[in-house]
Amino acid sequence: MNGILMLWFCCVLLVNAIRNPKSVSIAVRNLWHGEVMVYWLPPDGGEPVPQTPKPTRPGTSTGINSYEGHSFMVAPAAQKKKDSSPHCTFWASVGECKKNPDYMLTHCQRACGDSARFVVGEAEELITIERNWTVTRTGPAQRAIAAMRHYWELCSCSISEKECINPAVCAMNMAESFQFDPKRKELELEKRLFEVSFEMVIEPKSIEGENPENLSELWNLYNATLEIPPPCSTLEECSKIAAQQAITNQKALAALRRAIKNRGEAKRNISCAQLDAETSFLPEAIITESNTFDFEGRPGRDLFFRPDFLPEARISLIENFISVDECKALVENARPRLRPATHAKDGDLHVVSKSRDAQQATVSHRGLPEAANVKERTVRLANQLSNYTLGFDGQEELMVIQYNTGQQYLLHCDGDCSGTPHQPGGRLATVLLYCQTADKGGATSFPNAHVHVKPQLGAAAYFHFRGPQPYSLTENWHTEHSGCPVHQGEKFVITMWLRDGVSKENPSHRFSPFGGPL
């Protein structure tokens, strides 16, 4: 009887594993010289399934939500060769192109052509397709192994030393101080952000296509990150332990972020309903000793910034950034041309927005000194606060936006904030200038970062969503924000969206806000 029960229990676990595969987000970066397509390879050997409607251009990335163990193929988009059998891709994946070339190179030309294949692992990764079609993987495991090797080198003894600490013990001690992951502190911040989110919103809004939230599973993932790792004696053993611990941390981090983001809309509504609330933030999300700064004589403070482990996300507030006269000149220039707000979609930059209920007009810096001065100031601000090297030429023009009573801007990101590599020409920072505040309402809410900004006349809210290094990763949803409804009066803001990879020869209008040419 016990054997039958054990068999039944194992079958239940197997069925649950099949029904509930582990969801994993990956990004595929194309460094080949031409456009590529990413295909999912069905386990039954059927025809490959394209994962995007359009090819991935050279130097850009494609984000994919997949599952652990799923197989993918990346191949040239212009591949015109055809396969005579739906099983060609599977046969090629098991080496038949070399084992049986006479048949395969005749009937499976596409499958045996230039391509790269990979299997989704346990945690989020960046999959890079190199120029020679090799695959490079970058993720928490690789970072942890690199860190362990660094610890090991620091701990290794030189010949001249008389006494030496065992490098394995030393390296493990150093790794444990980071709990085997240099980004461990990021996990603790997300845990704190989830706690305050849960206090405000116990039941999140159900997301179509996603499984219902399982809090016990969430806490099991987090508690697994606290388990004491086994001892090790060699660099290889220690690296494996570090890699597994980092993967465990990443799973918990991803689960916490999903739980926070799923509560974002409800948190935004609660934040916006507090019409008289002052600017507020989470103390753990800043370094208290250094969260104030000076920008050209204007006082500023950080509301969300942990450069020690999360440099790609920052939210700051600067007082007296724009003068009353500058605001007046820009608003008066824009007012006769105000039209319903638009946004970019599928390459069209002028789709009337349903999420932004407002009126807008661009103001050119040419012929209007106030616009040129403000625009140049925003570039200097980004370069100072974010260690960028942005130029003035090629940037977008200032956008004047008017919100009347009842109007608002729903949750959104100004550029890519999904944690994937930043694309050339894409936005990486925003400067939001408050030129006229509403009598009631009109605050700016960053629910995933637990930041609420009460507009101040002449102030600027600055937020970046990529670190200082070109092609580095964008941040993960902390800068998703919303313009709260105006309950009484009129609100005018001026927005400057800043980009990297633009110039006089390649201006912003040639690129999507998320990067890559239009």
Is 363 inside any structural domain?
yes
Q: How many CB atoms lie within 10 A of CB 266?
A: 17
Q: Are residues 153 and 107 both part of a single domain?
A: no
**End residue of a domain, out of 107, 137, 167:** 137
- Residue 349: both structure tokens together: 């930059």
Q: Are residues 207 and 254 both part of a single domain?
A: yes
Q: Which domain holds residue 466?
A: 276-510
pLDDT of 171 reads 65
Q: Which residues, at least 6 apart from 29, have a Cβ–Cβ distance to it below 8 Å?
A: 60, 61, 126, 127, 128, 129, 421
Is 515 inside any structural domain?
no
pLDDT of 485 reads 97
Residues of the chain above pLDDT 90, percent: 52
Cα 83 from chain centroid? Answer: 37
Q: Are residues 336 and 404 both part of a single domain?
A: yes
Q: Are residues 335 and 480 both part of a single domain?
A: yes
pLDDT of 401 reads 97
CB 511 within 8 A of CB 426: yes
For position 111, which CATH number holds? 2.60.40
For the cut 60, the answer to whether the pLDDT of residue 396 exceeds it is yes
For the cut 60, the answer to whether the pLDDT of residue 20 exceeds it is no
Is 517 inside any structural domain?
no
For the cut 70, the answer to whether the pLDDT of residue 451 exceeds it is yes
338-373 confidence digits (pLDDT tens): 999 876 655 555 666 667 899 999 999 998 999 999
**End residue of a domain, out of 229, 262, 295:** 262
For the cut 60, the answer to whether the pLDDT of residue 159 exceeds it is no
For position 468, which CATH number holds? 2.60.120.620
For the cut 80, the answer to whether the pLDDT of residue 478 exceeds it is yes
Of 260 and 105, more confident:
260
pLDDT of 472 reads 81
Q: Are residues 133 and 151 both part of a single domain?
A: no
In 347-410, alpha helices (H): 369-386
Q: Which residues, at least 6 apart from 244, have a Cβ–Cβ distance to it below 8 Å?
A: 141
Q: What is the pTM of this model?
A: 0.82
Residue 248's H or E segment, with its range, is helix 235-262
Of 245 and 280, more confident:
280
Q: Are residues 337 and 386 both part of a single domain?
A: yes
pLDDT of 316 reads 98
pLDDT of 179 reads 57
Is 208 inside any structural domain?
yes
Look at the chain and report how many structural domains it folds into: 3
Secondary structure of 128-184 in HEC code, one letter for each residue:
EECCCCCEEEECHHHHHHHHHHHHHHHHCCCCCCCCCCCHHHHHHHHHHHCCCCCCH
Task: Work out the mean pLDDT of the chain and round it to a whole number.
Answer: 86
Distances from the Cα of 20 to the Cαs of 68, 225, 378, in angstroms? Answer: 11, 22, 47
Q: Are residues 50 and 154 both part of a single domain?
A: no
Give residue for tokens 């099949």.
18
Is 268 inside any structural domain?
no
**End residue of a domain, out of 109, 137, 165:** 137
For the cut 50, the answer to whether the pLDDT of residue 19 exceeds it is no
Is 11 inside any structural domain?
no
Computed over its alpha carbons, how large is the radius of gyration of the chain?
Answer: 26
298-340 confidence digits (pLDDT tens): 999 999 999 988 999 999 999 999 999 999 999 999 999 999 9
Q: Are residues 289 and 437 both part of a single domain?
A: yes
| Residues facing 72 on adjacent strands | 40, 118
Q: Are residues 218 and 346 both part of a single domain?
A: no
User: How many angstroms separate the CA atoms of 16 and 13, rounded?
Assistant: 5
CB 259 within 8 A of CB 202: no
Of 91 and 153, more confident:
91
Q: Are residues 128 and 144 both part of a single domain?
A: no
Q: Are residues 177 and 96 both part of a single domain?
A: no
Q: Are residues 368 and 468 both part of a single domain?
A: yes
